[in-house]
Chain A
Amino acid sequence: SAVISQKPSRDICQRGTSLTIQCQVDSQVTMMFWYRQQPGQSLTLIATANQGSEATYESGFVIDKFPISRPNLTFSTLTVSNMSPEDSSIYLCSVEPPDRAGELFFGEGSRLTVL
């Protein structure tokens, strides 16, 4: 399996500011996935972060709003830029460990509240 650590676990932010969420995995993984979970809604994939290349964004999500870094095979960051109350959500990092192909493991999530 994989142990995934996310920081911060929660934060309260002001409108117009940006917040960077960190995701650390205890093993090397090819892809890291960033999800958003809005209240009462299903998980939505924001983007797939690949080491050494640009992240791949899903429809409705753009790099200017959600820039992603992937400097190595165990770490990634997601930034929520120019936040508005509509960005209040839980953001989840997830991975598919190489020894558990086909299985998806999630971090604890980062609960973001924008005032």
Chain B
Amino acid sequence: KNQVEQSPQSLIILEGKNCTLQCNYTVSPFSNLRWYKQDTGRGPVSLTIMTFSENTKSNGRYTATLDADTKQSSLHITASQLSDSASYICVVSAKWVKRGSTLGRLYFGRGTQLTVWP
């Protein structure tokens, strides 16, 4: 069964600290993995997208890693800021031929709710 599991479910850290969010998946055949940030009351916004051959990808203070062998990904946030408080969603795409789209079939995790305290 294709699944995406995220941990922890929620996390509280102090401003300036680092943190790492985890994503384990069983989706097959794997196409790519995305991390989204969703602020409260807003739609998800893409942070990174990684393909099978990519191990690490950074976007400012966000660094995502992918281990396709163990089917694990992590999102590391450096020097956290209050604005990092949000839900972080891991999305794994399975290769799926659909006319008119290259998205594949998407499997969403439930997200990790991150709260950054001053």
- B70 interface residue, CB < 8 Å from A? no
Residue from B41, B49, B102 within 8 A of A96 (CB atoms): B102
Which residue of chain A is the closest to B100 with respect to CB atoms? A30
B87-118 interface mask toward A, CB cutoff 8 Å, 1 = contact, 0 = none?
00101000000001111001011110000000
Report the stretch among A40-48, A63-71, A76-84 that lies at the interface. Answer: A40-48
A109 to B44, CA, bound (A): 9
Main SS class of interface, A:
loop
**B108 touching A102, Cβ below 8 Å:** no
- A99 interface residue, CB < 8 Å from B? no
Q: A residues within 8 A CB of B45?
A: 106
Q: B residues within 8 A CB of A30?
A: 100-101
Number of interface residues of A (CB under 8 A): 23
Residue from B100, B103, B111 within 8 A of A104 (CB atoms): B103
User: Which of B38-59 touch A at CB < 8 Å?
Assistant: 41-46, 49
Which residue of chain B is the closest to A33 with respect to CB atoms? B103
Count of A-B contacts judged by CB separation below 8 Å: 50
Number of interface residues of B (CB under 8 A): 22
Residue from A94, A102, A105 within 8 A of B49 (CB atoms): A102
Residue from B36, B43, B91, B110 within 8 A of A41 (CB atoms): B110
With A40-B110, A42-B111 known as contacts, the answer to whether A109 contacts B42 (CB < 8 A) is yes
* Chain A proximity of B111: nearest CB distance (Å): 7
**A31 touching B4, Cβ below 8 Å:** no
- B65 interface residue, CB < 8 Å from A? no
- Chain A interface (Cβ < 8 Å from any Cβ of B): 4, 30-31, 40-45, 50, 92, 94, 96, 101-109, 111
Q: Which 7 residue pairs of A and B lie closest in terms of their CB atoms, listed nearest first?
A: A106-B43, A42-B108, A43-B108, A30-B100, A42-B110, A101-B102, A102-B102
